[in-house]
Structure formats: C-alpha cells, structure tokens
Amino acid sequence: MKKVVTMGEMLLRLTPRHYKRLVQADSFRAIFGGGEANVAISLANLGHESLFVSKIPDNEIGLACKDVLDENGVNTDFLKFGGERLGLYYSEEGSGVRSSYVIYDRLNSSIAEASIDDFDFDEIFKNASIFHISGITPALSKSCKELTKIALKKAKEAGVFVSFDLNYRSTLWPLDEAVKFYEEVSPYIDLCIGVIPEIHPSFKGVFNEKSLEKMFEETYQRTGIKYITSTIRKSFSATDNRLSAGIYNGRDAHFTDEIDVRVEERIGGGDSYTAGLLCSLLDGKDKNDAVEFAIRASALKHTIKGDYNLSEREEVEDFVRGKHSGRIEW
C-alpha cells in the first residue's frame, strides 16, 4: 500500500430523485463530493491508502462531509475545519435527449478562502507516492491558485509523482488565464489528464482516436508533460454512453476498447478513471494496461449511485478478464 495525496474542494451536491427536474423537486439527494475527493475515495475502495487535504466549515455540514471520507477509509488527518461555508451545487440529472446540468453556488467556500498556513505540506507529502489535484482548485480563488502552485512545487520537491486533471470550467475562469496557469505549472506535472483546451475548436469532448492523438502531441509539445491521457465519451443520450480512453507518453499513443455504459450516475465518471489509472501506476502496470484497467473502473462507476467508485479491485480485474455480462452471480 502506497499513499496517494489529493487536495481540492469538497462540495454538497443537491440532486432531485428519479430524474426529476430541479423545478419539480421537493427534496434533494445530498451527496458530498468533488473531483479530488472522489479520486481519494475511489482509490481507498481499490485498496490503496489515500489522504485528502482540504478545508471545510466547522459545523455539522462539515462533519457530515468528513464522515463520507472516514466511512470510505480516506485519511482525514489534514482536513482543516473553519471558514464560512461548504460550497454546493444543484445538479439535474438528464435522461435520454435531455441533458444534465449544474448550477454552482460555491463562492466564498472554506477552501476558496483558505490560506497557505492552513496546510503543512512537509507533513502531508511524507511517504507519499502520488499527488493528484485538478484544474478546478486553482480556479476557485486567488488564494487557491497560489495554494495549488505551492502544493505542486512542494510535491515535486518531495519526489512525489504528480497527476493533474485539467478539468477546464469556463464558468470559473477565462480560457487564457487557465492555459497560462497550466503552462506555468507543467514542469511539476508527470501525468496530465485532458488536453490543453484551446487547441480544439469545439472542446466539448467530441473527438475520436485520431483527433485525440493529435491533441496529445500538441499538448506534449507545449507542456513537455511525460504522460497525457484522456477519456473519449460518445454520448448517445444522457443515459447511454460509450467510453474509451487513450494515453500518450511522448512517443506513442494507446487506445482502449470501447465500452457501452448505461448511466446510473454520471458525475464522478472521470474521477473514477483517474483513480483507476493511479491505482494501476501504483500497482506497477505499464501505461497500456493501466488505461485498460482505468476505463473499466470508470465504466463500473457509471453504474453506481453517488460520486465515487465503490468497485473493489477484483471486480475491475474480472472485467479486464472479460466478465461483464451482467449475469447474476449466484
């Protein structure tokens, strides 16, 4: 067991039940999640030690949030309590031709207003193998941008393998600011999830193997990051998707099989891919085997309610070995 550190925001997600629209809801499912937390939880469920770093308010909503991490076996020793509020968002689950969408209400959250003094990175990165963070965290606030930079630098100094999920959100910061940041921190990054957004005119995930390989190359040219990976999602409808993934190491690209998924819960699908990939790296798999494992972990996650992959490693391995018919195992 090797330790993975992730850092970021954890939010409350409010989602109507049974595909109801937001305007129809008289109750919301309450799910605590967030990109980096989802990766930490999924890794813990895959059997690795993971540690999540963040700041959450010192009230019962903060405690409820922490419970989720504890229940899933994530180390919360560096979870700070304080600040104003837990960020939240409303999410409506699409169905068929109707898309899902999200309304953010995450300004002034505890992590967005956290200071660098809240975290002792020397302690945090002690014995760590991997550090993972996403491009959402630096977009939250000016202090989060600084915090992200310092964390990346400290991780690199501590000899930790650094994974960065670009995860560009136009609602949080402008494209040029984001790209500038990506380029600035690329020297600290070993694995980049996603490609530089500006190099694709319609960066809405609509690409195929060929176009993705080209984008891998360009991203590599501009950043020099050693590994670049991305999923390919063909979205026939909100409930029927086809998944695959590719990885590039500066020389050649590998693309996985395509897997049809029926979506029980879409959110967290990308994070479970990242967790599957990091799990594979910790296990010593080569890059090609790693993405085959990762895309199947992600496919399984799509069938599971909530943000996190609750699949155990054995289930994913069975899937890699061909067992995914959906038959009852008596």
Among positions 257-286, residues that touch a copy of itself (CB under 8 A) are: 259-264, 266-267
Site string for a copy of itself, 298-327 (x = CB under 8 A): -xx-xxxxx---xx---x---x---xxxxx
67 binds a copy of itself, rule: CB under 8 A: yes
Burial 99-112 (b: 16+ CB within 10 A, else e): ebeeeeebeebbbb
| CA 215-43-280 angle, 5° bins | 55
Q: Largest Cα–Cα distance of the chain, in whole Å?
A: 55
| CA 7-11-17 angle, 5° bins | 140
Angstrom distance (rounded) from CA 292 to CA 19 = 31
Q: Which is nearer to a copy of itself, 162 or 307 (CB)?
A: 307
Figure out which of the listed residues 64, 158, 179, 320 binds a copy of itself, where binding follows CB under 8 A: 64
Question: What angle, rounded to 10 degrees, do the helices at 269-282 and 287-301 form?
Answer: 140
The set of long-range contacts for 206-210, using a CB threshold of 8 Å and a minimum separation of 24, is 207/232, 208/232, 209/244, 209/246, 209/253, 209/255
Figure out which of the listed residues 202, 251, 321, 328 binds a copy of itself, where binding follows CB under 8 A: 328
171 binds a copy of itself, rule: CB under 8 A: yes
99 binds a copy of itself, rule: CB under 8 A: yes
208 binds a copy of itself, rule: CB under 8 A: no
- Count, residues near a copy of itself per rule CB under 8 A: 87
Figure out which of the listed residues 236, 257, 314, 317 binds a copy of itself, where binding follows CB under 8 A: 236
Figure out which of the listed residues 5, 7, 10, 14 binds a copy of itself, where binding follows CB under 8 A: 14
Instruction: Give the Å distances, CA to CA, from 125 to 36, 37, 296.
Output: 16, 17, 29
Figure out which of the listed residues 82, 105, 173, 249 binds a copy of itself, where binding follows CB under 8 A: 105
Q: Which is nearer to a copy of itself, 108 or 127 (CB)?
A: 108
Q: Which is nearer to a copy of itself, 100 or 143 (CB)?
A: 100
Figure out which of the listed residues 35, 94, 138, 276 binds a copy of itself, where binding follows CB under 8 A: 94
Angstrom distance (rounded) from CA 272 to CA 40 = 10
Q: Which is nearer to a copy of itself, 190 or 315 (CB)?
A: 315
158 binds a copy of itself, rule: CB under 8 A: no
Angstrom distance (rounded) from CA 204 to CA 307 = 21
Least Cβ distance, residue 136 to a copy of itself (angstroms): 10
**Is residue 233 within 8 Å of residue 241, measured between CB atoms?**
yes
